[in-house]
A and B are shown apart, each in its own frame.
Chain A
């Protein structure tokens, strides 16, 4: 009696499996929503502060690495009033994703932080290298995340770390006062840091309504609401007001 029941139930299970499989196949046949994109340019109006040469004379190793003087990077402009080092990212409307497992790299070379602004995701591995023939002392001035301060001598292995909370973290070198940079720690995987042409592109966006934020270390942040349709490309622009001092 028990054996015949078992046979009957297994027949029902096979039938249900076939039906479910067919349903799934029917579902797959519907095209997935195409990814959209938000792109644009960041510019400024007004008079920006002058980019000035950085005096590295106290560290001759670094002077020799730069045949022409390095200019300050807090406000870097390009032709057509474009603005560099602006972090443009989705600040609301995005789906949470797990952080990438590959580490992102931050270099200390020629007494500069390279890149000047590094955008990365929360909990994304971060490797900090010292490529100079002398010590640096990297000091991220975090307020939400734990603040730390580590010396990294010449030839020392990279510092492996990560940030657990979103935050714009200023970074300084305690030994070389002119060395400054930023970690832009973001929840979203959709971000872009503008180059000298001021352009940005946030690709791979599912249809939806988003808040796009542009952040600059000296001129603050601006937000825009953008609705992206199925496979739609939207162009927006951010215009910061620059002050010379």
Chain B
């Protein structure tokens, strides 16, 4: 029985490690300027954790094979000096590994999230609500109209609570249900939540950021590949959370300008 257990444990360890080592289960394509740093940090974590996982599981398998159930007459042996030094050593080693990964990872995270955005970034406002995302561009005047939450009304498509009757800067604001951005241009999003917590997650952009009601959360990135990618909410936000998504389309600058012009004409 011990040998069967040993074989099963070894097989699970090797197959699951191979799924990642051979990139059968792996990250989606990276389309962001900062993504390579995230991927490197993830890779280092995966390798460090993966090596420990495989070694520990194979050691378990060896011990189960070698010292599996034996006749009751056989004496139970203990480690020389007891198990305490082994446990202490394991805790220290794993602790050092986790602290190192945290330090390296937080440095990468801070390098992305805590650096100021490019002053020439394209600014786009995002409104998250149960259960959709809406995006706002400043329009030809280059200025965003002020938001008045009490004026927000889905029935009239006033998702941002604009007051175009009194606020002329709001009249040309472009509000759409999917995000379009130019490739290779820095983007600065301002995240607003209308009701509860939501999240902005685009795996290909290597970005995941929560929305918090009452806070305006800046988020900046540069997309480096054109294409259409899904934006999903990853904070359980209510009954329709499963269906809360939008799309980001990364397009060449010229196409983006044309798109913006068409949308401006529809406002």
**Which label, helix, strand, loop or mixed, suits the secondary structure of the A interface?**
loop
Q: Which residues of chain A are near B99, meaning CB under 8 Å?
A: none
Taking CB atoms, residues of chain A closer than 8 Å to B223 are: none
CB-based contact B155/A74 at 8 Å: yes
Q: Mark A224-245, 1 if CB is under 8 A from B, else 0.
A: 0000000000000000000111
Tally of A-B Cβ pairs under 8 angstroms: 67
Closest to B179 in A: A57
The CA of A49 and the CA of B165, in the complex, are separated in Å by: 11
Q: Is A172 an interface residue (CB 8 A)?
A: yes
Docked pose: A125 CA to B157 CA in angstroms: 31
| Residue numbers in A under 8 Å from B129 (CB-CB) | 177
Q: How far is the CB of B143 from chain A (nearest CB, A)?
A: 17
The answer to whether B156 has its CB under 8 Å from any CB of chain A is: yes
Q: Which residues of A contact B244 (CB under 8 A)?
A: 58
> Given contacts A55-B176, A58-B245, A137-B240, is CB(A177)–CB(B266) below 8 Å?
no
1/0 per position for B51-71, CB-CB distance to A under 8 A? 000000000000000000000
Verify A175–B243 contact, CB threshold 8 A.
Answer: yes
- Which residues on the B side are within 8 Å of A137 (C-beta)? 239-240
Known A59-B243, A72-B156, A217-B155; further 12 A-B contacts with Cβ < 8 A: A50-B266, A55-B176, A58-B178, A58-B244, A74-B156, A170-B155, A174-B130, A175-B131, A175-B239, A177-B131, A177-B154, A245-B164
A interface with B by C-beta (< 8 Å): 49-50, 52-59, 72, 74, 134-135, 137, 151, 170, 172, 174-178, 180, 217-218, 243-245
Which residues of B line the A interface, CB within 8 A?
A: 129-133, 154-157, 159, 164-165, 171, 176-178, 238-240, 243-247, 266-267
What are some 27 contacts across the A-B interface (CB < 8 A)? Answer: A50-B266, A50-B267, A52-B157, A52-B267, A53-B266, A55-B176, A56-B177, A57-B178, A57-B246, A58-B177, A58-B245, A58-B246, A72-B156, A134-B243, A137-B239, A151-B239, A174-B238, A174-B239, A175-B239, A175-B240, A176-B132, A177-B132, A178-B157, A180-B155, A217-B155, A243-B165, A245-B171
